[in-house]
Amino acid sequence: MAGVSLKCGDCGALLKSVEEAQEHAELTSHSNFSESTEPVLNLLCTVCSKPCRSKTESDLHTKRTGHTEFVDKTSEATKPISLEVPKVGATAEEAVTATTNQDEEMVVPEVDKKVLEELESMGFSTARATRALHYSGNSGLEAAVTWIVEHENDPDIDQLPLVPANTKVEAPKPSLTPEELRVKQQELRERARKKKEEEEKRTEREREKERIRIGKELLEAKRIEEENERKRILALRKAEKEEERRAREKIKQKLEEDKAERRRRLGLPPEEPSVAKPAPVVEEKKSFLPIRPATKAEQMRECLRSLKQNHKEDDARVKRAFQTLLTYVGNVARNPDEEKFRKIRLTNQSFQERVGALTGGIKFLEICGFDKIDGGEFLFLPRNKVDMAVLNSAGSELDSAIKNPFFGVL
């Protein structure tokens, strides 16, 4: 079978003529060509009649235009290849004619003349405008301009398109009148507006769902935090109760040991368990136990606990009262010789707001050694009654009450 194409031995490209082989060699520097019996494909698009010479080219055309139907006319256009080199000096028109005659006659496709004139008035060349109208399927001015924008970097953008002369070209679609064009544009704008409104509504719904989800997560996190805090407080109360129980047991054991020691010193025999606990009522047994008077520290602690319990609805005010009392006690402890720190006017407005108006505030100072003088107008701590141990104990109790968040709660 005679050769119908030239094949590049370096890249495998099929070429229709010697001229195409020369152009390919100039572009790629390939020089290994041979005749081939494999024809160059001639796939015609059934929509716009664009010829495609390979499957890759037809796929690219489909991607750009959406046209998917092609007619294979390879067998009709295949002819033995001529190995004669075109004459030097031949015009481009003669070269195109010679190449075209090898396949079949090619002509410029018909396009909508009115739209063509509009494109030319916009500054586009005749070749570019004709090419855009042809490959956009004569769909109108807007489609042609869009095609030009998308293909402005094509190397053949300013070449007239050619189609086989015997190809039936669909009659160009009539262009819209100005009034129809305005109506069409209004419809497109209205459609775009509705689409934008729907998109905004959808976005707003998504945002609302996200806000609801975040709100639920925050509420759940807050509930878990409150539950953990409640468990922590219960555990702390349980630990304090256990500590109190152990302290009572130690005191009871100490009392029993002291009692046994006293009997030993008096020369009495150890008390028998059956004798030590006859059958008296619990109240009668308690009456024989020695009652230890409360220490100053215990009195202060109870006074502060009572102050907080009486004003538990205003925690900030209670804390401020504790800090004020700590300031009074600290000033006296640091400057025991300064009378101004050992004398407090009860009618002072600042003192009344911070300490005097709270139940237990003045009592705490009295436990520290302050006495009322001048008909109850002043609280005064005489220098000879300044007890540093009592003041240090008062400072410790106040510091514990301020720093312990559960002070007075149990």
Instruction: Output the domain CATH number for residue 358.
Output: 1.20.58.2190
Query: Quick check: is 64 in a domain?
Result: yes
The pLDDT of residue 100 is: 47
Looking at the structure, tell me whether residues 71 and 125 fall in a common domain: no
Residue 379 phi/psi, 5-degree rounding, is -110, 125
Mean pLDDT score, 295-319: 86
Looking at the structure, tell me whether residues 150 and 194 fall in a common domain: no
Query: Quick check: is 408 in a domain?
Result: no
Each residue's pLDDT tens digit, 383-407: 888 888 888 988 888 888 888 877 7
Q: How confident is the model at residue 18 (pLDDT cuts 50, 70, 90)?
A: confident
Indicate the number of domains in the chain.
4
Q: How confident is the model at residue 410 (pLDDT cuts 50, 70, 90)?
A: low
Looking at the structure, tell me whether residues 306 and 399 fall in a common domain: yes
Selected residue with higher pLDDT from 5 and 326: 326
Query: Quick check: is 409 in a domain?
Result: no
Mean pLDDT score, 379-386: 89
The pLDDT of residue 214 is: 93
Looking at the structure, tell me whether residues 94 and 30 fall in a common domain: yes
- Domain limit, last residue, from 73, 107, 141: 107
Query: Quick check: is 227 in a domain?
Result: yes
Where do runs of H (alpha helix) occur along 104-177?
Answer: 113-121, 126-135, 141-150
Q: What type of residue is 296?
A: K
Looking at the structure, tell me whether residues 268 and 320 fall in a common domain: no
Each residue's pLDDT tens digit, 196-238: 899 899 999 999 999 999 999 999 999 999 999 999 999 999 9
Selected residue with higher pLDDT from 187 and 344: 344
Looking at the structure, tell me whether residues 16 and 83 fall in a common domain: yes
Looking at the structure, tell me whether residues 205 and 133 fall in a common domain: no
Selected residue with higher pLDDT from 42 and 280: 42
Side-chain half-sphere CA neighbours of 350 within 13 A: 4
Looking at the structure, tell me whether residues 301 and 398 fall in a common domain: yes
Lowest-pLDDT choice from 173-177, 182-186, 297-301, 352-356: 173-177
Query: Quick check: is 290 in a domain?
Result: no
- CATH number for the domain that contains residue 137: 1.10.8.10
What is the reported pTM? 0.32
Using CA atoms, how far apart are residues 300 and 370, in angstroms rounded to an integer?
A: 13
Query: Quick check: is 410 in a domain?
Result: no
Q: How confident is the model at residue 3 (pLDDT cuts 50, 70, 90)?
A: low
3-state secondary structure 49-86: CCEECCHHHHHHHHHHHCCCCEEECHHHHCCCCCCCCC
Looking at the structure, tell me whether residues 98 and 40 fall in a common domain: yes
Looking at the structure, tell me whether residues 315 and 384 fall in a common domain: yes
Residue 73 structural domain: 5-107
Query: Quick check: is 103 in a domain?
Result: yes
Query: Quick check: is 289 in a domain?
Result: no
Looking at the structure, tell me whether residues 166 and 214 fall in a common domain: no
CB atoms within 10 A of CB 348: 13
- Domain limit, last residue, from 83, 107, 131: 107
- Domain limit, last residue, from 71, 91, 107: 107
Lowest-pLDDT choice from 15-24, 130-139, 249-258, 336-345: 15-24
Looking at the structure, tell me whether residues 340 and 243 fall in a common domain: no
